[in-house]
A = this chain, B = another copy of it.
């Protein structure tokens, strides 16, 4: 049987073709089903309706199995690429000040930015639990769209998987990102030298505390919001003021203490912190006291630790303070030659104690 060009209406195959074509590329379901991860029609509609419509850009809309872009224009901006990935499993999905969607963009943007890179392209891969309200996914995608716009990045490719009810908790997101590092910038945890100053751009522990409170397991009520924010333009200001930054890292999971321990180990130096200089909200300290937590280990999602030679510290600090994400920036410590690989804290009482790598877990699923 072939399709006859004459009188096609009477041809049953033609009628079926018309029927196939008439289908709308719009999600009709209110909840995610396994069909949305099948690779078929339902998945394509979900991708078109929720992701492509929100993340719209010329690379993504080609809907190939991979994004592709020309390298030549990038070479005008730098000569090295930064490449990073993070999965986001935060619980709950929405919390004071932010949500998993914004977090998934800013987290990856910040991992690129702290290498000095200008963030360019992101991927978005979701694992959905069967039964997730489509409306939830829509809200998350809209949040990702807004965050991507703010950070000046494009989401250029993605993937959608659905697992049975109970095989995942609602929604996990992975983003990977690419950025271009300007020539001459060489930021590494291995570059730190004794005498360097340690700077942070503001209060620690707000994100971790906000998540903890949002879980509602504690009868606590605070107005602490996550500090989730993109740091790329703050980094730009810092590098503009001082291209010789030694090390930079965002203090996310594991908090400030973890980043500093990583720095001390990577550069084989010691670090001395001054407790009185570290900005922590009273409410965060209060929550920590009640629960036996230490704010130094609480997660942040918009906090940056910068290590520079002491002679540049004031210049960098001034540049940071001019930026909204750096207005509370301050010097919180110094790099010392020994004990190597160790972070010490000079407490408000004048004693000195070791701030060890976090042993055990403080708060799971905070990012």
A→B interface (CB under 8 Å): 1-3, 13-14, 16-17, 20-21, 33-35, 37-44, 62-72, 74-75, 78-89, 91, 111-112, 114-115, 117, 121, 123-127, 156-159, 161-164, 166-169, 172, 174, 176, 178-179, 181, 188-190, 249-250, 252-255, 258, 262, 266, 297, 299, 338-339, 341-342, 344, 350-354, 356-362, 364-365
Contacts and interface: CB of A to CB of B under 8 A. Distances in A.
Given A20-B356, A127-B172, A258-B39, A83 B64 contact: no
B3 A357 contact: no
A89 B360 CA distance: 27
Contacts of A79: 70-72
Contacts of A169: 163-164, 167-168
A176 B121 CA distance: 12
Q: 8 tightest A-B contacts by CB?
A: A39-B254, A40-B358, A176-B176, A39-B253, A66-B84, A85-B123, A38-B361, A167-B169
Contact of A87 (B91, B159, B164, B344): B159
Given A40-B361, A79-B70, A168-B168, A338 B254 contact: no
B157 A66 contact: no
Contacts of A163: 89, 91, 169, 364-365
B83 A69 contact: yes
Contacts of A63: 189, 262, 266
Contacts of A21: 341-342
Given A169-B167, A361-B37, A364-B38, A64 B189 contact: yes
Nearest to A297: B40
Contacts of A338: 3
Given A157-B83, A163-B364, A254-B39, A71 B69 contact: no
A317 to B, nearest CB: 23
Contact of A85 (B69, B176, B262): B176
Nearest to A353: B13
A194 B18 CA distance: 20
Contacts of A40: 254, 258, 297, 357-362
Contacts of A351: 1
Contact of A156 (B13, B80, B83, B344): B83
